[in-house]
């Protein structure tokens, strides 16, 4: 468990608002007027509408197995907001608590349930984050869930109203800390938003723009089948551009090396990529005839995927007009990429070419984070930098192809690869920049990119079998 010093929870709070302890005289007056009847918790909760409640199981490290509620008469409540984040803090002098509620990366924190939360700020970009800690106690790792009942922010980003219920388990243990927090909350809350009226709240709906109450996701990429944009983008004549038809034409129809991609939207692209030698089966200990299309790709794995694609492009090039990725010179640029890391060579080759950089998620610049998942936004930038290495110019677009990446630091690269048909989105102008990219999606991105190079005459189609010599 983590021992959190009091000072660690007293850092300067940006855009914070405060509800202070009620003066004793005010409490007396209210008692006389009958607004607060006795000292019953229910009466005080109705009056203040700002409180924190713990319901702690025996064995829970944070709550110490105690059920307790704190009100304004017990201390000071402060709330602040950040991108997709609300933090509520309570300071009662001898006891202090901080509660962080974070939406998956790239999303606003809105009312609704958030499942599969892990400890903030170390959660996967595709997952919600939760952390309840204080009074010198915190979890090293945690799992849990939370329900946001209400969140209202002012024009300047200050928190005006907030309400949430939560459940947290430290270190993967069974004992739970359950509780609720209210900050100037309303007396009651409407149902969570459900844009497509399919009975599934937006926060857990895998396709928010099309009704899909069954939440079917055949390719397990986190995007519901109702929203999967399996088709290629339209061309100028209103038809469809198939970037991979000529590239993969020689791949035999019977070529089916994997048993777990049958019928998936990316099946043909996965098999084409496997024929090229860029990918193979057996990830994460799976048998060799399993591709794992729904598995999340880490930054280390991404480096190996991308380096092999660049090497394949070099082997297929039609002339001298294509850049190449330099071989590994033995120099390691990152302190967290050890000699035994199987992706070490690919990571450093991409870094030397300016395609991959360190410092993800606030880490030092000399750390690559090889085990961190790659988001779809990050992948767009990696791929566009690789394209610039090959062709001398990055893919660009004057159009805003998606509605959910505005202001994202990767937006220009997302629009760039979308303009060439490499990124399709869900067909409803939604890209999902904060979602972790899966092996199935990675296959689609890389195969389409190779197809673009073939279509522009820079590389030849793939040979019938095996990687190019």
For 232-243, what is each residue's pLDDT tens digit? Answer: 333 333 333 467
Contact 314, 384 (CB under 8 A): no
Look at residues 126, 426, 446 and name the one whose alpha carbon lies nearest to residue 302.
446
Q: Give the chain's mean pLDDT.
A: 84
Q: Is residue 77's pLDDT more than 90?
A: yes
Dihedrals phi, psi of 441, to nearest 5 degrees: -65, -40
Confidence of residue 7 (pLDDT cuts 50, 70, 90): very low
Domain boundaries, the chain: 6-183
User: β-strands 76-82, 17-19: how paired?
Assistant: antiparallel
Residue 114 is predicted with a pLDDT of 96
Residue 319 is predicted with a pLDDT of 81
Q: Is residue 397's pLDDT more than 50?
A: yes
Look at residues 326, 345, 436 and name the one whose alpha carbon lies nearest to residue 389.
326
Q: Is 118 exposed, middle or buried (0-12, 13-18, 19+ CB in 10 A)?
A: middle
The phi-psi region of residue 135 (left if phi > 0; otherwise alpha if psi is between -120 and 50; otherwise beta) is: left
Q: Is residue 247's pLDDT more than 80?
A: yes
Residue 21 is predicted with a pLDDT of 56
Looking at 92-96, 336-340, 342-346, 430-434, which range is the least confident one? 430-434
Confidence of residue 221 (pLDDT cuts 50, 70, 90): low
Looking at 31-40, 129-138, 407-416, 435-444, which range is the least confident one? 31-40
**pLDDT higher for 38 or 269?**
269
**pLDDT higher for 29 or 438?**
438
Q: What is the value of pTM for the model shown?
A: 0.52
What is residue 228's three-state secondary structure? coil
Q: Is residue 43's pLDDT more than 50?
A: no
Q: What is the pLDDT of residues 298-325, one digit of tens each?
A: 999 999 999 999 999 999 999 877 899 9
Look at residues 278, 274, 305 and name the one whose alpha carbon lies nearest to residue 290.
274
| Number of alpha carbons in the 13 Å side-chain half-sphere of residue 55 | 7
């Amino acid at each position: 468990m983590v021992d959190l010093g009091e000072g660690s929870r007293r850092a300067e709070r940006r855009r914070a608002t405060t509800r202070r302890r009620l003066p004793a005289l005010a409490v007396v007056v209210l008692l006389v007027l009958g607004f607060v009847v006795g000292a019953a918790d229910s009466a005080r909760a109705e009056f203040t509408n700002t409180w924190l409640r713990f319901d702690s199981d025996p064995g829970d490290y944070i709550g110490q197995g105690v059920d307790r509620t704190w009100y304004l008469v017990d201390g000071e409540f402060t709330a602040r907001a950040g991108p997709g984040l609300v933090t509520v803090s309570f300071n009662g002098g001898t006891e202090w608590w901080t509660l962080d509620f974070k939406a998956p990366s790239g999303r606003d924190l809105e009312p609704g349930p958030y499942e599969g939360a892990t400890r903030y700020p170390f959660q996967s970009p595709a997952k919600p984050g939760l952390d309840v800690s204080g009074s010198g106690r915190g979890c090293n790792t945690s799992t849990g869930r939370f329900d946001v009942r209400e969140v209202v922010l002012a024009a300047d980003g200050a928190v005006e109203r907030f309400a949430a219920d939560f459940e947290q388990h430290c270190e993967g243990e069974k004992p739970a800390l359950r509780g609720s927090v209210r900050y100037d909350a309303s007396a009651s809350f409407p149902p969570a938003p459900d844009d497509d009226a399919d009975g599934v709240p937006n926060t857990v709906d895998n396709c928010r723009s099309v009704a899909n109450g069954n939440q079917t996701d055949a390719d397990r990429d986190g995007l519901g089948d109702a929203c999967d944009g399996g088709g290629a983008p339209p061309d100028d004549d209103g038809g469809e551009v198939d970037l991979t038809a000529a590239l993969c034409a020689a791949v035999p129809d019977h070529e089916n090396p994997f048993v777990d991609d049958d019928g998936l939207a990316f099946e043909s692209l996965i098999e084409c990529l496997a024929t090229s030698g860029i990918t193979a089966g057996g990830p994460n200990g799976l048998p060799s005839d399993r591709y794992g299309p729904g598995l999340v790709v880490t930054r280390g794995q991404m480096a190996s995927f991308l380096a092999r694609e660049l090497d394949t492009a070099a082997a297929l090039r039609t002339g001298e007009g294509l850049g190449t990725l330099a071989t590994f010179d033995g120099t390691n640029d990152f302190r967290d990429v050890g000699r035994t890391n199987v992706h070490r060579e690919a990571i450093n080759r991409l870094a030397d070419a300016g395609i991959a950089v360190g410092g993800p998620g606030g880490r030092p610049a000399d750390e690559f984070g090889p085990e961190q998942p790659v988001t779809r936004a990050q992948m767009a930038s990696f791929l566009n930098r690789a394209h610039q290495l090959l062709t001398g110019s990055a893919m660009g677009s004057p159009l805003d192809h998606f509605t959910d990446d505005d202001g994202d630091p990767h937006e220009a690269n997302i629009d760039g690869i979308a303009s060439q048909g490499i990124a399709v989105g869900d067909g409803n102008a939604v890209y999902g920049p904060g979602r972790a990219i899966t092996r199935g999606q990675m296959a689609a991105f890389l195969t389409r990119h190779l197809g673009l190079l073939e279509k522009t005459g820079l590389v030849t189609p793939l040979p019938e079998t095996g990687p190019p010599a």
